[in-house]
Structure 1
Amino acid sequence: MTNPHPPDARALPEANAASSRRHYILQVLTVFVGFLIFGFSENIKGPAIPRIQTELGLGELEIGQLLSLNSLGYLLACTFTAWLIRRIGIKAVCLISFGSMAVSGIFIFWSHNYPTLSSSFFLMCIGNGMLEIGLAVLGARIFVRNTGTMMNLSHFFYGLSSTVAPMVASGMMTLHVGGRLLDWRDVYLIILLLSVLPMIPALAGKFPAHSNMPEDRIPLKTIMGDRVIWLLVAILSFGVISEMAVGGWLVNFLEKAYGWSGPSSSAMLSAFFLCFTLGRLLLGPVTDRIGFALSLILFSAVSGVLTFAAIFAGEPGAFLFAAAGVGIAPVYPTVMALIAQRYRRGSDAVITFIVTLMGVGSVLGNYAIGAIISGIRRMVSGGDGDNALLRGLQAGYGFIGLCAILCALSAIPLYRLLKKRGELL
């Protein structure tokens, strides 16, 4: 019998469009909220590290080793996350990364010595590394229009949470709950448990599937033979060292070099991330307009110059440390946008390769900063006195500025190469 009420032919496409919009919104929420939580987890360490150092009796070299070990966990995650995405899907990988970050908060809460703390931080950074790759791959798949703007906007949420994280952490450590003063362990527990929040849109949404078509995969040999990719490795490595090291060392620098209080030092770190956040929010459209490679040269050079100016100006120029955040902020999302545009069909493999090698640079960079501070401190007056500590801290922080300059210098041959090939983006 013929159906007297045949379905409207227009209803199906409209229903599919509504479903696609819903899933896109959930995908974007996962990226945005994911970066928001990522920023908190990465940057509460600024106010926490001086207190960890005091409580556990750690030197600058040991702090550098701790941060390097964290970067090693991040690096380890980078080596298997792309494979895991292909095996179980990007949705499952995002859920696992958020879950491992929440669990690491519990372990940090129960850490009372250097080995257990290092192991707990290591687990947190494995979750961070998986999340970094997962969100980058997801962003490359869904942001097919205005890529530079959307990548910077998504990383804006990282900057937003990074701005308030030091102030929140410092403020929480002045609170009394149940007659007990909250310490850095409580802060890590509370903040990292927030990782369950982005699991909600991730569970509700449907993520784009990985393509298994041979033409959508770039062989490792091809990746390793691409000069552009190696230049991107150098740019991202130097840029990320300069960006991430601020969260670990600025508070330490201000407290020990200038005798600032914890809240005042944390406020300056928050000011850095405020500038950082504004840089990603406002400069995203600029990168789309003037081009990715030129943006990398200009912005990272500005960050390096401001960092050195802050060191040479002394305490009155401390605000320049914060201003440097504007320049370094667009580096990571701009590189991701360039990858998404240039390697659209094989971005997963390229992102994994570049971010993995970037992780190696991050491990070496954090260790180098701690080693430079300790080495210069020993060289000056036998390591005794405030002057020796000040010179060591200045040298270590100078390395952060140097990395920003090297990031800019690495982008110059990239610009020339792409211009020569007529492939500027």
Structure 2
Amino acid sequence: MTDPIAGVRVPARPDTALFTRTAVAASCAGFVLIGALQSLFGPALPALREEFGLSPSAAGLGLSAHFAGGVTGVLAFNRVHGRVGNRVLLGSSYALMALGSIAFALAPVWPAALAAALVAGLGFGGLDYGLNQLFATGFGRRSTAMLNVLNAHFGIGAVAGPALIGLLGPGRYPVAFLACGVLAAALVPFVKGVRDRDPAAPAGGAAGPPGAPPGTGRTLLLLGAFVLLYVVHVGVEAGVGGWEPTHLETVGYGAATAASATSVYWLMLTAGRFLVVPLAVRMPEPVIVAVSCTGMLLCTGAAAVPGLAPYAYAGVGLFIAPVFPTGLPWLHRTVPTARRAAAYVIAASMVGGVAAGPALGRAIELAGVRAVPVVLCAMTAVCLLATAWLARATRHRPARPCE
């Protein structure tokens, strides 16, 4: 059977397939939804400040509450996943997003809006964890390709959310959140197309391959390296998105050019995940991640040259795109008890996204805005070092998961 979105063949036998074709398409729609939901808070800030009489920092708590709910949702759903099954996990995540999004749109006071953002974040975290986990193990050798397809749809949503606010106007942000809530509710019935319990894990599957490194210390080292890779690379991703416009304006570009270049960065990140799909079924994950980190390093360094900066940031988007979805199957093959490990890594990546703004802001206060590419380059060097260590530490393992 072929995935109707990516053209990647997926398991066809009903007794072993984790997703039906319809469920694959619905899952991709779910990732468009969470990408849009996360991206709506920023464009809605001016209207939120005016409606509720908020300071900039108070208005920013909406996104903070959403991320706090996301981290909590990842860890909480990880705890109960084995007991409740895949359908309850995904269905309750969609329901929480629907409830939170609709409540945020209709909230009469700011504390109620914050509570609603937290609830929507819980569903966001559950869906982010659940679908990444299931796609990482549900398609055999093609799991890496399918994860890139799935996460590319997150990027589509992240681009579409602000575009919708721009079309409606910031003052009509409740309509956008209501639309997200309705879409989330509409996706609940499609969880019937997901196998409720994972098939028995094959050799090299989620439970860890035969010959997994013995001893808690070895496992913690591997997990720690993956956490470091994910925290820092998501920090780079968020850092470019947040600071690229400021840096470009500082080195002489106009505000419109800087904003357009930032949009191109996000579009390149989305395109990169689709472009890597044919490579992901032929190349081992460590090679893809290593090439990606090397490209990020070169591009962040090139961004220090004013004439190259807009193009270099677009290159960062292209190279950073495969790291998150490609690293998860690699994690599953190399870390015992990989389901719990994946939850920690996904939660840590969310923390990295939240922490990137203040951390980069402090570095820029000390070194100046022109140092943005230098700081980002140093962060990508950390990603490359973590990748190199992981590749060496796991070199004895099979290059790809078994069917």
| Alignment TM class, shorter chain as reference | 0.7 to 0.9
- Residue matched to 2:87: 91
- Does residue 1:260 correspond to 2:255, yes or no? yes
- Residue matched to 1:122: 118
- Residue matched to 1:274: 267
- Does residue 1:323 correspond to 2:315, yes or no? yes
Letter in 2 for 1:238: V
Residue deviations 1:33-65 (CA, integer Å, cap 9, x gap): 221212211223443346656775544x66776
- Residue matched to 1:195: 184
- Residue matched to 1:155: 151
Cα distance between partner residues in 1 of 2:246 and 2:183: 26
Correspondence for 1:412 among 378, 388, 392:
388
Cα distance between partner residues in 1 of 2:340 and 2:263: 34
Preserved contact between residue 247 and residue 372 of structure 2 (Cα < 8 Å): no
Aligned alpha-carbon RMSD (Å): 3.9
Task: Indicate the structure with greater helix content.
Answer: 1
Deviation at 1:200, TM superposition (A): 3.2
Preserved contact between residue 34 and residue 135 of structure 1 (Cα < 8 Å): no
Letter in 2 for 1:183: R
Deviation at 1:357, TM superposition (A): 3.4
Preserved contact between residue 268 and residue 314 of structure 2 (Cα < 8 Å): yes
Letter in 2 for 1:365: A
Query: What SS does the aligned partner of 1:313 have?
Result: coil
- Residue matched to 1:233: 227
Correspondence for 1:355 among 346, 351, 372:
346
Preserved contact between residue 136 and residue 144 of structure 2 (Cα < 8 Å): no
Preserved contact between residue 89 and residue 126 of structure 2 (Cα < 8 Å): yes
Cα distance between partner residues in 2 of 1:298 and 1:401: 15
Letter in 2 for 1:149: A
- Which range moves more in the overlay, 37-46 or 358-367? 358-367
Compared with structure 1, are the counterparts of its residues 69 and 319 closer, same or farther at alpha carbon in structure 2 (3 Å cutoff)?
farther
Deviation at 1:330, TM superposition (A): 0.3
Cα distance between partner residues in 2 of 1:126 and 1:116: 15
Residue deviations 1:153-173 (CA, integer Å, cap 9, x gap): 222222223233332322221
Query: What SS does the aligned partner of 1:146 have?
Result: helix
Preserved contact between residue 41 and residue 62 of structure 2 (Cα < 8 Å): no
Preserved contact between residue 68 and residue 118 of structure 2 (Cα < 8 Å): yes
Q: TM-score, normalised by structure 1?
A: 0.74
Preserved contact between residue 72 and residue 363 of structure 1 (Cα < 8 Å): no
- Which range moves more in the overlay, 42-51 or 187-196? 42-51
Compared with structure 1, are the counterparts of its residues 92 and 361 closer, same or farther at alpha carbon in structure 2 (3 Å cutoff)?
same
Cα distance between partner residues in 2 of 1:185 and 1:396: 35
Q: TM-score, normalised by structure 2?
A: 0.77
Preserved contact between residue 147 and residue 340 of structure 1 (Cα < 8 Å): no
Correspondence for 2:36 among 33, 40, 47:
40
Letter in 2 for 1:98: Y
Deviation at 1:352, TM superposition (A): 1.7
Larger radius of gyration: 1
Compared with structure 1, are the counterparts of its residues 47 and 224 closer, same or farther at alpha carbon in structure 2 (3 Å cutoff)?
farther
Compared with structure 1, are the counterparts of its residues 196 and 245 closer, same or farther at alpha carbon in structure 2 (3 Å cutoff)?
farther
Cα distance between partner residues in 2 of 1:112 and 1:335: 42
Compared with structure 1, are the counterparts of its residues 359 and 161 closer, same or farther at alpha carbon in structure 2 (3 Å cutoff)?
closer
Deviation at 1:366, TM superposition (A): 3.9
Residue deviations 1:16-41 (CA, integer Å, cap 9, x gap): 95687795223322322221212211
Cα distance between partner residues in 2 of 1:358 and 1:317: 26
Query: What SS does the aligned partner of 1:145 have?
Result: helix
- Does residue 1:335 correspond to 2:327, yes or no? yes
- Which range moves more in the overlay, 123-132 or 112-121? 112-121
